Amino acid sequence: MTWSTSDIPDLTGRRALVTGATSGLGYETAKVLLQRGAEVILAARNPEKTAEAARRLTGDTQRVPVTVELDLADLSSVERAATHLTNTYDSIDILVNNAGVMATPYRQTLDGFELQIGTNHLGHFALTARLMPLLQSGRVVTVSSFMHKSARIIQQSDLRQPAGNYSKWPQYSMSKLANLLFMFELGRRVPTVVSVGAHPGYASTHLQAAGPELAGAKLMAKVWAGLNLFAQSAAAGAEPSLYAATEPDLRSGTYVGPGLFEFRGAPKVVQPTQRAQDPQLAEQLWAWSVEATGVDPALTVAR
């Protein structure tokens, strides 16, 4: 039987936080969660864009989301956002680690990490760790990509990849592999949390052009715009995340993607690569991430 968002149970009384919720997959994820009754927190970097997204969501759903400023490329911003949230709420039922950057020109985060892995993986690792007191019996959805399949093995030096060794697409794939390694290891280390993953297939979102545009590659931006004619909508691309976030009885380690060759279509449980499930590599990445961020989700004590 084909799953659709109408199969999502009533979420009244549940609280969800979605990162990167100002547009694309994050916006569509937040929209459906609001429609199904959840209290939704929009966490994003730009306060003006976040406020505008909140206004649009209120118009679309007749329900008002909460907003919080969060820059995943700045670990001090992650700490401030998490402190505000833990001082404000007693629980978060669903955390959707959705925000990301793709194929950007070489840049570093404020803490000196390569931007893609620093934002896509380390920022979410730190956020999840700092929110763990609120997530003790919750669900964490980590959004990856089918591009994790092309990633090589991760080394600790990749976290601070120097400009001379940088290649934007391999580094993006590596960050998406890191997302899945984190997802599996979180489930192993924190059994009270349901840690699952999702990927959107090929969906038309701002990320498809953002990387080439940031690099000043106008031709590539036009190519991506043309390819988007064949992509599924952002709303359809958000369905795997929504399935992962709301389907009852999912177990940690479940990975959800589109059903048609993992490219488009209704969501279903799919299989990541063997490398993404490598427990030794996941353990190494966890240790490196703890060293890089100064926090450990498995050691965060419940209040």
DSSP per-residue letters across 181-241: HHHHHHHHH-TTSEEEEE---SB--THHHHHHHHTT-HHHHHHHHHHGGGSBPHHHHTHHH
> For this structure, is 168 an active site residue?
no
Listed residue (41, 252, 198, 241) closest to 131, CA to CA: 41
Question: 77, 176, 195, 252: which is the annotated catalytic residue?
Answer: 176
CA-CA distances (angstroms) from residue 61 to 1, 64, 69, 277? 27, 8, 22, 38
> For this structure, is 149 an active site residue?
no
Do the Cβ atoms of 108 and 118 come closer than 8 Å?
Answer: yes
Q: For helices 168-189 and 279-293, what crossing angle results, to 10°?
A: 100
Question: 31, 145, 172, 252: which is the annotated catalytic residue?
Answer: 172
Question: 27, 31, 77, 144: which is the annotated catalytic residue?
Answer: 144
Rounded Cα distance, 118 and 60, in Å: 33
Residue type at 46? N
Active site (catalytic) residues:
144, 172, 176
